[in-house]
Amino acid sequence: MAALPRLLCASSVVLVVWAGFCSAVCVEVPSETEAVQGTHMKLLCISCMKREEVTATTVVEWFYRPEGGKDEPIYEYRKTNHEFPGRFSGRLQWNGSKDMQDVSITVLNVTLNDSGIYTCNITREFEFEIHRPLFTSSRLIHLTVVEEAGEDFTSVISEIMMYILLVFLTLWLLIEMVYCYRKVSKAEEAAQENATDYLAIPSENKENCAVPVEE
Protein backbone atom coordinates (compact mmCIF):
# COMPACT_ATOMS: atom_id res chain seq x y z
CA MET A 1 0.00 0.00 0.00
CA ALA A 2 2.92 2.36 0.68
CA ALA A 3 3.96 2.09 -2.95
CA LEU A 4 0.56 3.30 -4.21
CA PRO A 5 1.04 6.99 -3.27
CA ARG A 6 4.48 6.94 -4.89
CA LEU A 7 3.01 5.45 -8.05
CA LEU A 8 0.27 8.08 -8.17
CA CYS A 9 2.80 10.87 -7.63
CA ALA A 10 5.04 9.56 -10.40
CA SER A 11 2.07 9.25 -12.73
CA SER A 12 1.06 12.85 -12.02
CA VAL A 13 4.55 14.08 -12.84
CA VAL A 14 4.58 12.13 -16.10
CA LEU A 15 1.18 13.55 -17.07
CA VAL A 16 2.32 17.13 -16.37
CA VAL A 17 5.48 16.67 -18.44
CA TRP A 18 3.53 15.01 -21.23
CA ALA A 19 1.01 17.85 -21.26
CA GLY A 20 3.86 20.34 -21.48
CA PHE A 21 5.24 18.59 -24.56
CA CYS A 22 1.82 18.30 -26.18
CA SER A 23 0.90 21.94 -25.64
CA ALA A 24 1.92 24.46 -28.23
CA VAL A 25 4.74 26.82 -27.34
CA CYS A 26 2.71 30.01 -27.62
CA VAL A 27 2.22 33.13 -25.53
CA GLU A 28 -0.77 35.40 -26.01
CA VAL A 29 0.51 39.00 -25.99
CA PRO A 30 -1.92 41.94 -25.97
CA SER A 31 -1.73 44.34 -28.90
CA GLU A 32 -0.71 47.97 -28.53
CA THR A 33 -3.64 50.37 -28.36
CA GLU A 34 -2.11 53.65 -29.59
CA ALA A 35 -0.70 54.52 -32.99
CA VAL A 36 0.87 57.67 -34.44
CA GLN A 37 -0.58 59.17 -37.59
CA GLY A 38 1.37 58.25 -40.73
CA THR A 39 3.09 55.18 -39.22
CA HIS A 40 2.42 51.45 -39.59
CA MET A 41 0.43 49.77 -36.82
CA LYS A 42 0.45 46.01 -36.22
CA LEU A 43 -2.81 44.70 -34.78
CA LEU A 44 -1.64 41.72 -32.79
CA CYS A 45 -3.95 38.71 -32.65
CA ILE A 46 -2.57 35.42 -31.30
CA SER A 47 -4.65 32.29 -30.77
CA CYS A 48 -2.69 29.41 -29.25
CA MET A 49 -3.59 25.90 -30.31
CA LYS A 50 -3.89 23.47 -27.39
CA ARG A 51 -2.33 20.53 -29.25
CA GLU A 52 0.08 21.43 -31.99
CA GLU A 53 0.25 17.89 -33.37
CA VAL A 54 -3.44 18.07 -34.40
CA THR A 55 -4.04 19.67 -37.79
CA ALA A 56 -6.85 22.17 -38.14
CA THR A 57 -8.47 24.37 -40.74
CA THR A 58 -8.35 27.99 -39.61
CA VAL A 59 -10.51 30.88 -40.77
CA VAL A 60 -9.65 34.43 -39.66
CA GLU A 61 -11.97 37.40 -39.95
CA TRP A 62 -11.08 41.00 -39.13
CA PHE A 63 -13.73 43.66 -38.48
CA TYR A 64 -13.56 47.40 -37.86
CA ARG A 65 -16.09 49.46 -35.90
CA PRO A 66 -15.83 53.25 -35.87
CA GLU A 67 -16.93 55.25 -32.85
CA GLY A 68 -20.72 54.87 -32.65
CA GLY A 69 -20.84 52.74 -35.80
CA LYS A 70 -21.28 49.09 -36.74
CA ASP A 71 -18.80 46.31 -37.45
CA GLU A 72 -17.66 46.15 -41.07
CA PRO A 73 -15.44 43.38 -42.51
CA ILE A 74 -12.01 44.58 -43.58
CA TYR A 75 -9.90 41.42 -43.97
CA GLU A 76 -10.34 37.67 -44.20
CA TYR A 77 -8.09 34.63 -44.36
CA ARG A 78 -9.67 31.45 -45.67
CA LYS A 79 -6.81 29.47 -47.21
CA THR A 80 -6.09 32.67 -49.16
CA ASN A 81 -5.94 36.33 -48.15
CA HIS A 82 -8.83 38.60 -49.02
CA GLU A 83 -9.07 42.35 -48.38
CA PHE A 84 -12.53 43.91 -48.47
CA PRO A 85 -12.96 47.19 -50.36
CA GLY A 86 -13.41 50.24 -48.19
CA ARG A 87 -11.42 52.76 -46.17
CA PHE A 88 -8.55 50.28 -45.67
CA SER A 89 -8.15 49.28 -49.34
CA GLY A 90 -4.46 48.77 -50.13
CA ARG A 91 -3.44 49.53 -46.53
CA LEU A 92 -3.73 46.10 -44.89
CA GLN A 93 -0.88 43.62 -44.72
CA TRP A 94 -1.06 40.01 -43.49
CA ASN A 95 1.44 39.17 -40.73
CA GLY A 96 0.21 35.72 -39.75
CA SER A 97 2.51 32.79 -39.05
CA LYS A 98 2.61 29.49 -40.93
CA ASP A 99 1.15 27.54 -38.01
CA MET A 100 -1.76 30.02 -37.88
CA GLN A 101 -1.26 30.80 -34.21
CA ASP A 102 -0.33 34.39 -35.02
CA VAL A 103 -3.05 35.85 -37.26
CA SER A 104 -2.07 39.52 -36.99
CA ILE A 105 -2.45 42.20 -39.65
CA THR A 106 -0.73 45.56 -40.12
CA VAL A 107 -2.46 48.81 -41.02
CA LEU A 108 -0.19 50.89 -43.26
CA ASN A 109 -0.07 54.69 -42.97
CA VAL A 110 -2.68 54.96 -40.25
CA THR A 111 -4.87 58.07 -40.16
CA LEU A 112 -6.88 59.74 -37.42
CA ASN A 113 -10.00 58.18 -38.93
CA ASP A 114 -8.61 54.69 -38.21
CA SER A 115 -9.37 55.04 -34.50
CA GLY A 116 -11.97 52.57 -33.33
CA ILE A 117 -12.49 48.94 -32.30
CA TYR A 118 -10.91 46.11 -34.28
CA THR A 119 -12.21 42.58 -33.85
CA CYS A 120 -10.26 39.43 -34.71
CA ASN A 121 -12.40 36.30 -35.01
CA ILE A 122 -10.68 32.91 -35.26
CA THR A 123 -12.51 29.71 -36.18
CA ARG A 124 -10.68 26.38 -36.03
CA GLU A 125 -12.00 23.03 -37.26
CA PHE A 126 -9.81 20.26 -35.84
CA GLU A 127 -9.35 17.14 -37.93
CA PHE A 128 -9.75 14.10 -35.72
CA GLU A 129 -10.43 10.60 -37.05
CA ILE A 130 -13.84 10.29 -35.37
CA HIS A 131 -15.16 13.83 -35.26
CA ARG A 132 -14.24 17.38 -36.33
CA PRO A 133 -14.85 19.75 -33.40
CA LEU A 134 -15.20 23.46 -34.09
CA PHE A 135 -13.73 26.12 -31.78
CA THR A 136 -14.06 29.89 -32.04
CA SER A 137 -12.31 32.76 -30.26
CA SER A 138 -12.34 36.53 -30.53
CA ARG A 139 -10.01 39.42 -29.70
CA LEU A 140 -10.92 43.10 -29.34
CA ILE A 141 -8.42 45.90 -29.91
CA HIS A 142 -9.37 49.48 -28.98
CA LEU A 143 -7.08 51.58 -31.16
CA THR A 144 -6.50 55.31 -30.75
CA VAL A 145 -4.58 57.26 -33.41
CA VAL A 146 -2.80 60.45 -32.30
CA GLU A 147 -1.07 63.16 -34.31
CA GLU A 148 2.24 63.03 -32.43
CA ALA A 149 3.85 60.44 -30.22
CA GLY A 150 3.43 61.22 -26.56
CA GLU A 151 6.24 60.67 -24.10
CA ASP A 152 6.00 57.28 -22.54
CA PHE A 153 5.37 57.33 -18.78
CA THR A 154 7.93 54.58 -18.24
CA SER A 155 10.63 56.53 -20.07
CA VAL A 156 9.82 59.64 -18.03
CA ILE A 157 10.22 57.68 -14.79
CA SER A 158 13.48 56.19 -16.10
CA GLU A 159 14.87 59.64 -16.91
CA ILE A 160 13.89 60.98 -13.47
CA MET A 161 15.55 58.03 -11.75
CA MET A 162 18.67 58.52 -13.87
CA TYR A 163 18.93 62.19 -12.86
CA ILE A 164 18.38 61.30 -9.19
CA LEU A 165 21.12 58.69 -9.44
CA LEU A 166 23.50 61.18 -11.05
CA VAL A 167 22.83 63.74 -8.32
CA PHE A 168 23.35 61.10 -5.63
CA LEU A 169 26.62 59.93 -7.17
CA THR A 170 27.84 63.53 -7.50
CA LEU A 171 27.06 64.28 -3.85
CA TRP A 172 28.70 61.03 -2.74
CA LEU A 173 31.82 61.89 -4.76
CA LEU A 174 31.99 65.38 -3.20
CA ILE A 175 31.61 63.96 0.30
CA GLU A 176 34.37 61.43 -0.38
CA MET A 177 36.65 64.17 -1.72
CA VAL A 178 36.04 66.39 1.35
CA TYR A 179 36.61 63.45 3.69
CA CYS A 180 39.85 62.46 1.99
CA TYR A 181 41.05 66.08 1.93
CA ARG A 182 40.37 66.50 5.67
CA LYS A 183 42.05 63.18 6.42
CA VAL A 184 45.16 64.14 4.43
CA SER A 185 45.20 67.59 6.05
CA LYS A 186 45.05 66.11 9.55
CA ALA A 187 47.85 63.70 8.70
CA GLU A 188 50.01 66.56 7.42
CA GLU A 189 49.24 68.65 10.53
CA ALA A 190 50.14 65.73 12.80
CA ALA A 191 53.41 65.18 10.92
CA GLN A 192 54.24 68.88 11.13
CA GLU A 193 53.52 68.96 14.87
CA ASN A 194 55.75 65.92 15.44
CA ALA A 195 58.53 67.55 13.47
CA THR A 196 58.15 70.78 15.46
CA ASP A 197 58.19 68.90 18.76
CA TYR A 198 61.30 67.01 17.69
CA LEU A 199 63.12 70.19 16.75
CA ALA A 200 62.19 71.71 20.11
CA ILE A 201 63.94 68.91 22.03
CA PRO A 202 67.49 69.86 23.27
CA SER A 203 70.36 68.21 21.46
CA GLU A 204 71.45 66.13 24.49
CA ASN A 205 67.96 64.71 24.79
CA LYS A 206 67.94 63.87 21.08
CA GLU A 207 70.96 61.64 21.66
CA ASN A 208 69.11 59.88 24.48
CA CYS A 209 66.18 59.35 22.09
CA ALA A 210 68.34 57.29 19.82
CA VAL A 211 67.49 53.63 19.86
CA PRO A 212 70.35 51.54 21.32
CA VAL A 213 71.90 49.08 18.90
CA GLU A 214 72.21 45.52 20.14
CA GLU A 215 75.58 43.86 19.65
Sequential pLDDT tens for the chain (215 residues):
444 344 334 444 333 333 333 444 566 777 888 999 999 999 999 988 765 556 788 999 999 999 888 999 999 999 889 999 999 999 999 998 888 889 999 999 999 999 999 999 999 888 777 878 888 999 999 999 998 876 655 667 887 888 898 898 899 888 988 888 888 888 888 777 776 766 666 655 555 555 555 54
pTM value surpassing 0.75: no
Per-residue H/E/C for the chain: CCHHHHHHHHHHHHHHHHHHHHCCCCCCCCCCCEEECCCCEEECCECCCCCCCCCEEEEEEEEEECCCCCCEEEEEECCCEEECCCCCCCCEEECCCCCCCECCEEECCCCHHHCEEEEEEEEEEECCCCCCCEEEEEEEEEEEEECCCCCCHHHHHHHHHHHHHHHHHHHHHHHHHHHHHHHHHHHHHHHHHHHHHHHHCCHHHHHHCCCCCCC
Q: Which domains does the chain have, with CATH numbers?
A: 27-150 (2.60.40.10)
